[in-house]
Chains A and B, each alone.
Chain A
């Protein structure tokens, strides 16, 4: 395959993702307008808040950091033929692990390793239930997300609660924090970690035997099994790698984002990234490199949402837009469909 062929192979999914995003923006505008808001003003605030200055763009990259990592969870699952939506709960435990270990061993590496390890551990229940009991991962991971939420709330506010402030955990000590990339923003080395992780996942999935086996299992499980690939091992590895990136997301989020460097009440600063990561992965076509770009796009939505809120539009609107984008991504052959409509229109 030469370069132009391989580029063309990427062009169609890319165009379809862009179309899905446009549909999300358009339908979102209708929802805004129907709810009595000024859609243009809302979108203007969204753009201003995310890319209008270097500081704002740093905010966008900062928001994209955990999303890239949780999207990798879903992508690795999806490529193995699994709908792993357990990143959400894993993020909480990754964050707790980082807070916990940094009290004992205060350096950034220990927090990162703890997040990854705890993430891998929390992935095991769903993996084992899938492999040995045939429990569908959508049901198990959703149930585990709720269980994780309540357990993490308890851990945060009972075990690791700050002695000076009952509304948050103890903070990560300064020596264990990820340094900022840019002053007066929340952009830290966490973003670099996320991008490097995406590249590592790409290498694992496309340039190692394990990755080949996982993808073969996802592409055609029966053929893969005839080819000597163990589907159970592929599924377990998929959950474990996914758990690692999600756990890392939690650790990086709490170690890299000023000012608190702690988990706040109701897990507010680590909540929702796992679910949003699903959308990031789908728009990025479950490809680690695509995910870096769609992660930045969703990060922009997150950063812009704050500005939109200041303009009077509830920031939850961004979730609605994201949801519509995902539904639009699910429309198969979106590009062909629109092509056909245009052709019909011309005749």
Chain B
């Protein structure tokens, strides 16, 4: 273990932390308002795809992030209308969205670029790193932005009237309603914020971190983010800690697979299970203490 390796692993963990934290911060906001969504995996998929298209059209990675956010919002509107306004089930739409995500991206890559399963993002459509060394280690501006987003989200949730109302409609919608808070509007807004953040995370996967779109690009990160949200107790700042742990193992798996000396000793398939195994163990270890918002996942109907 030398300094170069440590630097590589640290920067890699930070890069892997970004999509997980952005999504779990969003999911925390949505669930604080009482809306569960398990469709983040599908949002990551579709926004990685549409984010790349917009980035390549504009020759600008940042526009790609915007494209990702808009993709997320479009899906969020569907989920929000079904769960918040029509009082539907909170889990089923996400199952459908995830299926659309995986099918749609595999279909879309073929339909749009004519290649099977994978498309390399054009260099001028990728986000330039803040810093880079000769060995390919780099630091994306999105790492800094993600940390800022986590702190801002915490401040908004816990220190502003808007955040108080978000939490109120998830914790006790009847009381919030009696005080004149528009429960549906706040819930819907929270869903859109969450989907937008997850959409940015998806576009980051393709136009920044990985530089490619594949038909399995999300690779379970939408669900790892949900695990991280539970792990962090629905707290945006704490989700940075969890995000770094999950990011470390996500990145470690990639790191070992690319390291011929280590990869020869253990089957790569075992290493590939690491992020999922760690997620399972961490969630199993802490869950007794986790407490979800009281009306999380329960439609609110006025009496």
Residue positions of A touching B, CB distance < 8 A: 31, 35-37, 83, 85, 125, 129, 133-136, 138-140, 142-144, 146-147, 150-151, 153-154, 158, 275, 278-279, 282, 314, 316-320, 322-333, 337
Shortest 6 CB-CB distances between A and B: which pairs? A319-B103, A326-B96, A323-B100, A323-B99, A327-B96, A330-B92
B91 A83 Cβ-Cβ under 8 A: yes
- Do A143 and B106 form a contact, CB below 8 Å, given A151-B273, A323-B96, A330-B88? no
Contacts of B273 in A (CB 8 A): 146-147, 150-151
Q: Per-position contact with A for B98-125: 1 when CB-CB < 8 Å, else 0?
A: 1111111011101110000000000000
Q: Using a CB-CB cutoff of 8 Å, which residues 4-45 of chain B contact chain A?
A: 38, 42
In whole angstroms, how far apart are the Cα atoms of A125 and B273 in the complex? 15
A-side contacts of B264, CB under 8 Å: none
A138 & B280 in contact (Cβ 8 Å cutoff)? no
- Please give the distance in Å from A138's CB to the nearest CB on chain B: 6
CB-based contact B280/A144 at 8 Å? yes
Q: How far is the CA of A332 from the CA of B111 in the complex (A)?
A: 33
In the assembled complex, which residues on chain B have CB atoms less than 8 Å from the CB atom of A31?
A: 104
Closest residue of chain B to A328 (Cβ to Cβ) is: B96
Q: Are B86 and A327 in contact (CB under 8 A)?
A: no
Assembly CA distance A185 to B95 (angstroms): 32
Least CB separation from B99: chain A residue: A323
Say whether chain B's binding surface is mostly helix, strand, loop, or mixed: helix
B270: chain A residues at CB < 8 Å are 150-151, 154
Known contacts A135-B283, A139-B283, A314-B111: A319-B102 contact under CB 8 Å: yes
Residues of A within 8 Å of B280, CB to CB, are 125, 129, 135, 139-140, 143-144, 147
Can you name 15 extra interface pairs (CB under 8 A) apart from A35-B108, A135-B280?
A: A35-B107, A36-B111, A138-B91, A139-B279, A150-B270, A275-B99, A314-B107, A316-B107, A320-B104, A320-B107, A322-B99, A326-B93, A326-B99, A327-B78, A332-B89
Residue on B nearest A276 in the bound complex, by CB = B99
Tell me how many residues of B have a C-beta within 8 Å of chain A. Answer: 49
Report B-chain residues with C-beta under 8 Å of the C-beta of A317. Answer: 103, 107
CB-based contact B284/A135 at 8 Å = yes
Q: Which of A318, A320, A329 contacts B92 (CB 8 A)?
A: A329
- Nearest CB of chain B from residue A286's CB, rounded to whole Å: 11
> Which residue in chain B gives the minimum CB-CB distance to A155?
B269
A141 nearest in chain B by CB position: B223
Query: Provided the pairs A147-B277, A154-B269 are in contact, do residues A138 and B38 lie with their beta carbons within 8 angstroms?
Result: yes
B residues within 8 A CB of A318? 103
B63 beta carbon closer than 8 Å to chain A: no
Q: Which residues on A sit within 8 Å (CB–CB) of B87?
A: 332
Give the distance in Å from the alpha carbon of A125 to the alpha carbon of B280 in the complex.
10
- Using Cβ atoms and an 8 Å threshold, which residues of chain A touch B103? 316-320, 322-323
- Which residue from chain B places its CB closest to the CB of A329 in the assembled complex? B92
Closest partner residue, chain B, to A325 (CB atom) = B96
Q: List 29 A-B contacts (CB under 8 A).
A: A31-B104, A35-B107, A129-B280, A134-B288, A135-B287, A138-B226, A139-B223, A139-B226, A142-B220, A144-B280, A147-B276, A150-B270, A154-B270, A275-B99, A278-B95, A279-B99, A316-B106, A318-B103, A320-B100, A322-B99, A323-B98, A326-B92, A326-B96, A326-B99, A327-B92, A330-B92, A331-B82, A331-B86, A332-B86
How many angstroms from the CA of A136 to the CA of B276 in the assembled complex? 15
* Interchain CB contact under 8 A, A133 and B284: yes
The 0/1 profile, CB within 8 Å of A marked 1, for residues 257-299 of chain B is: 0000000000101101100110110011001101000000000
In the complex, what residues of A have CB within 8 A of residue B106's CB? Answer: 314, 316, 319
Q: Does B97 contact A (CB under 8 A)?
A: yes
Does B70 make an interface contact (CB < 8 A)?
A: no
Residues of A with C-beta under 8 A to B42? 323
Interface set, chain B 54-107, CB cutoff 8 A to A: 78, 82, 86-89, 91-93, 95-104, 106-107
CB nearest to A318 among chain B residues: B103
Rounded to whole angstroms, the CA-CA distance of A231 and B223 in the bound complex is 26
Q: What per-residue 1/0 map shows which CB atoms of B232-274 lie under 8 Å from chain A?
A: 0000000000000000000000000000000000010110110
Residue of A nearest to B299 (CB): A332
CB atoms of A136 and B86 under 8 A apart: no
- Shortest distance between the CB of B231 and any CB in chain A (Å): 10
* Complex contact A150–B269 (CB within 8 A): yes
Q: How far is the CA of A158 from the CA of B108 in the complex (A)?
A: 34
Q: Nearest Cβ in chain A — how far from B97, in angstroms?
A: 7
Q: How far is the CB of A284 from chain B (nearest CB, A)?
A: 13
Given the known inter-chain contacts A143-B223, A154-B270, A322-B99, please indicate yes or no for A133 contacting B287, CB distance below 8 A: yes
State the Cβ distance, B41 to closest chain A Cβ, in Å. Answer: 8
In the assembled complex, how far is the CB of residue A294 from the closest CB belonging to chain B, in whole angstroms?
A: 14
Cβ contact within 8 Å between A316 and B110: yes
Given known A-B contacts A314-B110, A316-B106, A320-B104, A327 and B93 have beta carbons under 8 A apart: yes
Contacting pair B97 A327 (CB below 8 A): yes
A139 touches B227 (CB 8 A): yes
Which single residue of chain A is at the shortest CB-CB distance from B93? A330
Please report the C-alpha to C-alpha distance between residue A136 and residue B36 in the assembled complex, in whole angstroms: 12
